[in-house]
A and B are shown apart, each in its own frame.
Chain A
Amino acid sequence: MIHSLFLINHLGDIFLEKHWKSVISRSVCDYFFEAREKAVDPENVPPVLQTPHHYLISIYRGKLFFLSVIQTEVPPLFVIEFLHRVADTFQDYFGGCSESVISDNVVIVYELLEEMLDNGFPLATESNVLKEMIRPPNILRSVVNTLTGTTVSAEIQGVIEACVKLSGMPDLTMSFMNPRLLDDVSFHPCVRFRRWESERILSFIPPDGNFTLMTYHISSQNLVAIPVYVKQSISFFEAGSCGRLDITIGPKQTMGKTVEDLKVTVHMPKAVLNANLTASQGNYTYDFTTKLLVWDIGKLNPQKLPNLRGSLSMQTGVPNPEENPSLNIDLKIQQLAISGLKVSRLDMYGETYKPFKGVKYVTKAGKFQVRT
């Protein structure tokens, strides 16, 4: 199973190592660095690498590489899933998963890793179990009994995230107004699957704290309209080595709710040197090195549609890009689950006190991409 773990920052420094069996020299990571160098983008590093004596399985999370060393056959997904679980645990414990956070809490991190694997085999990976053994650094956690629903849309894929702070052994059931919408679901292990199969009710005894109760996918037949529309034109001129850009965004089917946190990201072709634009709302930045144009709009005002226009200066002597860049759009709509999924009710059995219940619907753009 998992032999060792190395945490590596974006500069290629190993800042933490943990071994669950005999110690393996960190020189084993050289193979990884080689691949890292070849890949240019950190996302492009193959997650599984083979070296003469070991296999390296890594994930890239929050600008960090979690690199595990394997010696014998083990399902790669097993390791990948575990590494993500480690990252999730850090996130849960420290509210972040960056190098500085991990270095600041190195002893807790080490204890966590010790608890999560025994001899390379997962031992305790549930956040609530771990918290019983190893206390998180701050106990400043607001005590609210809310159940929050977040809907990630565009592909209509959603999650129900729960935050449960109930004492005793509450047995909860949650039902939906329209469970038929759900096409494909996966559950937290606490959910009783048979009950779902027979009655379409989520029945569970929740662990304490935050957890993802369920993720779901809405079948494409019920595809709900995308909440915004985009008018754009991007063109490059052969002659003057310049280009023009014009983007307008307007609301569509938002059911009276405001679109917030609107953001447009454009990956410009290499030849684009600089952008000289004016935004009617929000502000834009263009990063020369990454060729990333980010237009942060904020709230969408339906009366005055946000617009970004201007010219792009291009590198001279370089042929024009053949393909126009695609736009990535981020947005958020509060109080609206665009999938139409509605929680019908939440009941508690097994305990006598009256819990506080609440549902929050949020729609977020997932991978909303406009091909130009």
Chain B
Amino acid sequence: MNEAKCSWLGLIFSPVVLVQIRFILIQNRAGKTRLAKWYMQFDDDEKQKLIEEVHAVVTVRDAKHTNFVEFRNFKIIYRRYAGLYFCICVDVTDNNLAYLEAIHNFVEVLNEYFHNVCELDLVFNFYKVYTVVDEMFLAGEIRETSQTKVLKQLLMLQSLE
């Protein structure tokens, strides 16, 4: 049923491509994962492979390179902050610059929330980082972009605990 619909739609649009975030990764230079949020179905070993591949691709690049890497049949938008790489994996047709801004937005929120965040903050409070991610991204899309609103929510949630 799905295939029939898609083929009919194919006459009018190009086949429906999943245009969304596939995963968000925060890794350090050594390859340790500080956060991995998956928005698509992957097996455990697939996940591990993806983590390793992303690390291999992203750490060899330096300031001379663009912030976009074509990777398999999608692309990775990444930015390096001190020793951490923030990577978002999106579809090839997505707007690179918008996601670059989204990464920066996210990092600014983290900075505010943890008061000058450093890598150890992310390590010892990993579950809080997941909360921040869930406030700002959901179902593979950007959810909330206003930093003030997100921070207000996070403080509310913190008071509940």
Q: Do A and B bind?
A: no
Interface on A for B, CB 8 Å cutoff?
Answer: none
